[in-house]
Each structure stands twice: as C-alpha cells, then as structure tokens.
Amino acid sequence: MCGIIGIISSKESKKLSEITISALKRLEYRGYDSVGVASLGSKGIEVRKAKGTVEQVTLKKKIPEMSGYIFLGHTRWATHGAPTDYNAHPHTDCSGRIAVIHNGTIKNFKELRAELESLGHKFSSETDTEVIPHLIEEFIKRGMDSFTAFKSAIKSLDGSYAVLAIIDGEKRIFFAKRDNPLVIGLGEGENYIASDIPAFLPYTKRILVISDGEIGFLTNTNVYIEELNGNVVDVHKRIRIVDWDVETASKEGYAHFMIKEIHESPKAVRDTISSLMSDLDVVEKICEEIRQAERVIITGAGTSYHAGLYFSLLLTREGITSIPLIASEYYNVKGKKGDLIIAISQSGETIDVLQAIRKLKSEGAKVVSITNVIESAIARESDYKIYMRAGPEIGVAATKTFTTQVASLLFLYSYTFGKDWKALKDADKEVEQAINATEGFAKRVGEELAKKQNIYYLGRGLSLPLAMEGALKIKEVSYVHAESYPAGESKHGPISLVENGFPVVFINDGEMPELLKNNVMEMKARGGKIYVISANRKVGEADLEIFLNSKFPALSISPVIQLIAYYAAVSKGLDPDKPRNLAKTVTVE
C-alpha cells in the first residue's frame, strides 16, 4: 500500500509543492518508509525523493523550492525493493522525461524488466514500478502518441495498480487503476487525483471515483476516462459532492481503523497469497529448511505468537519437532545447529522477537522471518524473509495482519507437506464470505459480552490458538477480562467460575465437534451462556452458534473473533483504535 497524489494547475508555481506536501501528510498512513515528489514545469521534469517520513524528506530535499504546473507526490509502503532513496517513487525512464508513481504490485515485472533491458533500457531501482516509465518510453520511441503509449504500457502489466504518469511537454496527468484506489478531485482551474479523498479534501469536495480497469488523463479543467476496451466513460454522471471531514474520510466511511482493517482482510489475504505464489523459489528454500531442520522454533509476541502456535501445531501433527516460543521467554530455549527459527512479527521491530532471534542465531540456528513491514529490523537479521503484504495497519489491535500471518503459514505448511497449496488462491473469498455472513452475529455477541466481567474462550486442537487470539482481542480493546483454555482442560479448574450467565465462547474449526459438545454440555449444566463459532460442522446445544462453510476454517474464524471484539469495544463507547496502555510497536523489553 502506498499513497499517491497528483495536482495539475494552469499556472506554474511553488504553491503546488505546498499542496503536495500537505496531501502527502494526510496520505502518510498508507505508507511511511520513503517519499518523493516530481514537478513538471517550463524547465521539464524534476524529481526529488528520499527514504524517510514526509516531514524529513520535505526538509532534506527542500521540496517547497520546487515549482511547476503539475506535481506528483508519493509516500511509499515498500513491496518490491528495500526502503531506500533510489527505490522511492517517482521513477523515471532513461531520459528523465517521464515520471511515474504507483500503488500496487506488478507480478510480471521481472519478465518486463528483462525484456526492456535487452532493448537497452537502464534501470536505477529494484522496484516493480520502474518498468512503467520505461515501457511508456519504449512505446513512444516506436511512434505512439503519449496516451496510446501509456495505454500500451498499462496493458502490458499483470498485477494491481493505481498509476499516475507525467510526460515532459504534456499538460496532462495520465492515470490507470486496477485493484487499488484512485479518486479525482475537481477544483477551480486546478484538478487533483489521489489514493483517497482526504488527500485533496481541503481544496475540493467535488469528487469522481475511478473504477477498476479504467484509464485516462486529467488536465487542469477536464477529465477523460475510458475503459481498457476503449469505451469512453461519461464522467459527468459520476461526479458527486462529499460532505466529509478529513478524519472521517481517511477511514473511508468506516467509524474506526479497526473495522476498516478487518474489512480489508480479504484483499490483504489475496495479496499475501499472490505474493507467495510469485516467489516460489524462496518458498521452496524455506520449506526445504523446515523439512531438514532438527527442530523448528516458532517465535512471536501477542497476536503473532498465536499465529505461530497455530503453525507449530500443524508441524507437530506432521511429526516435525516444533517449539512454540513466546518471544519474551526466549532465554528458556538453548539454540543449536540444525534449529530453524520462524520469527513472526507484524512490525518486524518487536524487541522481544529480535532478542529471541539474536540469541538463537548466535547459538547456531537459521532464521526465517514473516513480517509485514518490509526490511524491518527482524527481516534484516533473517536468513530468509517472507512479507505478509497486508498494507499498513493503523489500529493498535492486529486484525488483517493476523489473518495474513495465518494465510502465509498455511501456505508454507501446504507447500512443505505436498498439500493443495494452490487452493489458497481462493482463500480471500472465504474470508470475505465470513465477514459478510457474521457481522450481525458478531455485533450481537460483542454487545452481550461487553456487559460481562469475565469470559472464557475455549477450543481444541487447531482452534486453541484462535481461542487465545479471540480472548486477547476482546480483552485489549473492550477491557473485559477474557481467558482462553483448551476446552478439555477447562474442567480441571476454570469451570469453578462458571455460574448462571457466565459467557463461554467456543471456537470450533469442525475437527472435533463431538468432543467440544461434551464441554459445551458441562458449561451449560452450570448455567454458562454458550456462544459457538463453527466452521464446517456444528456443535449444537449452544445459546447462539454461527456456522461457516469453509475450506480454511482458521481464515474464516479469524475475522469473526475480531468483529466480536470490535463491537464489544464500540458498545462500551471505547476507541478500539487506541486501547489504553498499548502501543502498536513494542520496542522495550
């Protein structure tokens, strides 16, 4: 995920640089590892870019000094290539006369790059994006006009994109969209195009949303859009006025980032799986390490630990010696040659996880990391790295990143043991169905649980890590005490708390509903209020049970436990995005 902004005006001025900077600040939540700006004026295209935040790069590169009648601005969330000065957008062609910014991923960029290099094009970054300006350059060289060259470049891409391009000599911003957001803002003699509405909201409220597969250009007074098949779009019918403030608009209509991010889970899972599928060389190496390892030690903190525990159970069931290790307890394990560490962390900066890998690595272990933040400290210290590609997560509670951790781990598991890993291609649809089917159930359960003092979350087998995650989630955002136990273990002590109305949430992935039913009956007999989240096979006997038909129960159940926690917090009037005492990234031991 990255943030992009384009502005076009009739007059050349430095004022546009200020508008670009302020738009980038509002887009920074979409990516924050590097920033770049391109201006187009009478002296041609100028690009200034660097690693860092909007504020740092603005100062370092003296962005306010730039002048032009067109500006492009980009704030990056690295996907291909480390966050560095040279990988920052905009990217240019060989001549520096074409500049491009992009949000998305180009799956066939390696093939395109090889072809362009064989034609003599020189690349200066590791990004997938850089193929776009070179493609435009190549098509112009072959005699096409600017728009036809832009269209041909876009048609060559396989992947997701919101792309903006400028070409020296053209008073137009060219744009195209597939799977990533792009919205036009219509001003007075000045037009805007960005990843989202807040970017230009202080300047105009007249907007036009670009649909998937559309391509076109923007002048300072007009918009031209056509579909990729050439059909011209009637833009006037699309214009509407928004009545939002900036804060509301960055949540895209959702009340909180947490709920927005839960709803982003299907896309996040799609991106996770497609990225793994396009990087099978690395996947194969990691899977071979898993097969060969004497022990696989899986470490993480909080939510990431729960994803790790899930993977550890999968490995153990295949006869692999696996140790699930809460990262902060790393000193309890002595590493040795032959150990493989799998470190899981959304931020990639959690100090406990870093300490764990540093110690075990110094004792001879190899390290595989699964992080969301590209080139984070944990990724840098690993022998092999996988990225979740969930996009930035603003809510402190991990939601879409947990689901993508589980998706990545399921992929590794399926690939390692010769299961049907290709079936995960459709996993995003199951996540989407689960969200659509359970919102009402989750709201009702969340509101009921919010009124309680204590809750048990129980599960067996692979459902246990999900029960643990369900308890953590509701506890952290709604401040209701929740504890998880293996369901069979509950009768060895925890059941003594259960009396009339005590809430017990059972997680049932469909593997052992008969055994779970026994535990349900035990809780019921003591007056417990029973909620069951079931996939594939029902438990029955519950006060309230939701049933999901799913090939990947963990992926379907994950958003349901998150939605319950969200609605519990909201019903208590709490802000689930900023739970008290918690930080998104924990860099203290």
Active site residue 94: no
Residue 582 C-beta: closest distance to ligand AGP, Å: 6
For residue 40, give the 3-state DSSP assignment.
strand
Q: Which of 183, 314, 396, 445 binds ligand AGP (CB under 6 A)?
A: 396
Going residue by residue from 40 to 79, which x/- string records binding to ligand AGP, judged by CB under 6 A?
----------------------------------------
Q: Please pick, from the candidates 353, 357, 360, 370, the single residue that binds ligand AGP as defined by CB under 6 A.
A: 353
State the DSSP code for 159.
E
Binding string, residues 243-282; x marks residues near ligand AGP by CB under 6 A: ----------------------------------------
Q: Total residues at the site for ligand AGP (CB under 6 A)?
A: 16
- Could you tell me the smallest distance in angstroms from the CB atom of residue 311 to ligand AGP? 14
Instruction: Establish if 346 lies at the interface with ligand AGP (CB under 6 A).
Output: yes
- Token pair in block for residue 313: 């159970």
Of the candidate spans 218-226, 238-246, 345-353, 481-489, the one that interacts with ligand AGP by CB under 6 A turns out to be 345-353
Q: Is residue 406 within 8 Å of 310, Cβ to Cβ?
A: yes
Q: Which is nearer to ligand AGP, 209 or 586 (CB)?
A: 586
What does 43-97 look like in DSSP terms, one character per residue?
A: TEEEEEEEES-HHHHHHHTTGGG--EEEEEEEEE--SSS-S-TTTSSPEE-TTS-
**Which of residues 304, 382, 490, 519 is near ligand AGP by CB under 6 A?**
304
Residue 246 CA to residue 196 CA, distance in Å, equals: 10
Element (H, E) at 341: strand 339-345
Omega within 30 of 0 (cis) for the link into 90: yes
Q: Is 302 in the site for ligand AGP (CB under 6 A)?
A: yes
Q: How far apart are CA 428 and CA 167, in angstroms?
A: 37
What one-character DSSP code corresponds to residue 332? G
Applying the rule CB under 6 A, the residues between 456 and 495 that interact with ligand AGP are 476
- d(CA 181, CA 323) in angstroms, rounded, equals 41
Burial of 572 (0-12, 13-18, 19+ CB in 10 A): middle
203 contacts 220 by C-beta, under 8 angstroms: no
Indicate if 287 belongs to the active site. Answer: no
CB of 431: closest distance to ligand AGP in angstroms? 18
Segment near ligand AGP (CB under 6 A); pick from 24-32, 149-157, 297-305, 317-325: 297-305
Q: Does residue number 397 form part of the binding site for ligand AGP (CB under 6 A)?
A: yes
Binder of ligand AGP out of 34, 92, 105, 350 (CB under 6 A): 350
Residue of closest CB approach to ligand AGP: 302
* CA distance linking residue 470 with residue 370, whole number of Å: 21
Angle between helices 427-450 and 265-277 (to 10 degrees): 150
Contacts with ligand AGP by CB under 6 A lie at 301-304, 345-347, 350, 353, 396-398, 476, 582, 585-586
Active site residues: 2, 584
